[in-house]
Amino acid sequence: MSTQVKEEIIISPFTIEADHPRSSDLLLQAIPNCRLRSAIKASRTTIRNPQSPTNEPVIPKDQARHLGSLPVIPGMRLSVDPANLTYEITDPLCDNPELCDRIESALNSDDRPLSIDKIKGVPVQKGELDVHRMKTLCREIVWLLKDKHVKMAKGPQPDMDDVEELPGKYLLNPGSRVPNNQPVYEEDMPQYVDNLKKSGG
C-alpha cells in the first residue's frame, strides 16, 4: 500500500483590480457588502449599437461628453490570502491626491448643475473569511477573470483546479442577506430539490 501523502495545494496571495468592460461597479457575493469601483477609461467603448448590421461600437453623446474629460481612473483592488483566510480592499486614489484633483477639475469643468465635492479614495477595508466563504470567493474571482471583469494586479493568477483543492465547500447563496430555507452548501441542493418534489413543493 502506498504511503505517499497528497501534497496540500495552497493558492499564493494575489491581487486583482476591478476592470469591467463597461466601467461598472462589481458586487462580490462572497464578501459581505463588497462593492468595487471599476477602472474608468474615457476611451473605452461601453455601448454597442444594436441597429448596426456590424454591431458597430458607439458611445452616447452625453456619456462621451462626461467621460471624455476624465483621466484614466484605476479600479479598486482586492488582495486575497487564501492560506490565511484574509482579504484587503484598497483604492489607488487614496495614494494619489494629484489624480483626485484632476478628476475633480474634470467633473467641475463640464455643464453639470451641481459642483463636485473633494474627491478622495475609499478607505482600506480588511477582513477574515471562513474556509467555505474563501473557497467560494476564489471561484468567483476565477470566473470574473475569465469574463474579463477584473485583471491581475499582483501575484500568480488563481487556477480553478487549485481552487477545487482548497478546504471547505462552495456556498449556495453567499450573497443572501435574509433568512431562507435553502441549504447552505451547493452540494446539498440536489437532495433539497428531491425532498421538495416528494413533499409536493
Q: What is the mean pLDDT of each run of 10 residues along the chain (201 residues)?
A: 49 97 94 94 62 56 57 96 97 94 83 72 96 98 97 97 96 87 90 82 54
Nearest-angstrom CA–CA distance, 109 and 13 = 41
Whole-structure pTM value: 0.82
The pLDDT score that the predictor gives to residue 8 is: 65
Give the pLDDT confidence score for residue 173 in this predicted structure. Answer: 92
Predicted local distance difference test score (pLDDT) of residue 92: 97
Measured at the CA of 86, the angle between CA 29 and CA 30, to 5 degrees, comes to 10
C-beta separation of 43 from 176 below 8 A: no
